[in-house]
Amino acid sequence: SDKVRGGSALRIARRPGFVYLDLHVNPSAGRLLVLSEDLKVQRSLDGWSSLILQDGRVLYRNSMVHFAPAHPGSVSLYDPRSGAAVGVYPLTPDPASGAEFVDRRIGTIEMAGPTQIRMAVSEQNVKLGPDNRGVPVGVARDATVTCDISKPTPVCVVQPKEKGRQN
């Protein structure tokens, strides 16, 4: 049998038909267990829940390597009824570049309408410094990302924030 890996329980939530259990792995990683009402594991996802919708779908942050020069945050959507998990943001995978990495912080994910979510995103390119830490390259990019999650493949629109503007 498959062994479920994860540490202490951080959050338990319930929607009709399903129970969601977030387990701690490290500060940059988690394990999200989706259980049936009789507590049988339906799916183990590499990440932790951010927003559980009334229909049972769950937006979750994908786990990252903790001690890395950059933490490229990303969000996925899992539908326990179909078993499908799809990437939501970023829109395309980060380019595989040996010289630079993308450090991405994703703020609170919230509903922006009946079929839309919204999140604040901050991205900064970094390069590997002599001490193996990330060194910023260029300017940070801040944006508000709104995604339509009504279709099987979410569609997101990125609205860059104006420089010097506070939200």
Cis peptide before 152 (omega within 30 of 0): no
20: Cβ contacts below 8 Å, ≥ 6 apart:
11, 12, 13, 14, 32, 33, 34, 35, 49, 52, 58
What are the pLDDT digits (tens) for 22-70? 999 988 889 999 999 999 999 999 999 999 999 999 999 998 877 777 7
Minimal CA–CA distance to 32: which of 17, 50, 16, 15? 50
Asked if 49 contacts 67 with a C-beta cutoff of 8 angstroms, the reply is no
Minimal CA–CA distance to 87: which of 95, 99, 96, 78? 78
Q: Is 70 exceeded by the pLDDT of residue 165?
A: no
What are the pLDDT digits (tens) for 80-125? 999 999 999 987 766 655 567 888 999 999 999 999 999 999 999 8
Task: Indicate the DSSP class of residue 161.
Answer: P
Q: Which of 75-79, 118-122, 129-133, 148-152 has the lowest mean pLDDT?
A: 129-133
pTM (2 d.p.): 0.86
